[in-house]
Amino acid sequence: MLYVPLLYSGGWLASRPLALVSPSLRPDQVNLAGAVLALVLLLLTLPLRLRRAWGIDQPWRQLGLVAPVPAVLRALVRGLLKALLLLGLVSFVLLITGNARWAGVLSGGAAANALALGAGVGFAEELLFRGWFLGELDRHLGANRALIVQAVVFALVHPWYRLPGLGAAGLLGGLVMLGLVLALQRRADGGVLWGAIGLHGGLVGGWFALQAGLLSLSPTAPGWMSGPGGMAPNPIGGLVGWLGLGALLWVRWRWWRRA
Average pLDDT over residues 168-177: 96
Q: Are 234 and 174 in contact (CB under 8 A)?
A: yes
pTM assigned to the model = 0.90
Q: Are 64 and 79 in contact (CB under 8 A)?
A: no
The answer on pLDDT for 105 being more than 80 is yes
Quote the CA–CA distance of 90 and 233 in Å, as a whole number: 12
Q: Are 31 and 18 in contact (CB under 8 A)?
A: no
Q: Are 177 and 60 in contact (CB under 8 A)?
A: no
Distances (CA, A) of 1 to 6, 53, 244: 9, 12, 32
Quote the CA–CA distance of 59 and 253 in Å, as a whole number: 28
Quote the CA–CA distance of 171 and 173 in Å, as a whole number: 5
In what helix (H) or strand (E) does residue 215 lie, and over which residues does it extend? strand 215-217
pLDDT band for 244, please (50, 70, 90 cuts): very high
Q: Residue 18: its pLDDT value, please?
A: 66
The interaxial angle of helices 239-257 and 165-188, nearest 10 deg, is 30
Q: Residue 204: its pLDDT value, please?
A: 96
Distance, C-alpha 116 to centroid of its chain = 13
Q: Are 98 and 185 in contact (CB under 8 A)?
A: no
Distances (CA, A) of 136 to 6, 118, 133, 143: 16, 25, 5, 10
Give residue limits of the domains in the chain: 1-62, 66-257
Q: Are 238 and 251 in contact (CB under 8 A)?
A: no
Lowest-pLDDT range, 46-60, 93-107, 109-123? 46-60
Quote the CA–CA distance of 199 and 236 in Å, as a whole number: 13
- Total residue length of the chain: 259
Nearest Cα residue to 234 out of 223, 243, 244, 245: 223
Q: Residue 55: its pLDDT value, please?
A: 86
The answer on pLDDT for 25 being more than 90 is no
Q: Residue 12: its pLDDT value, please?
A: 65
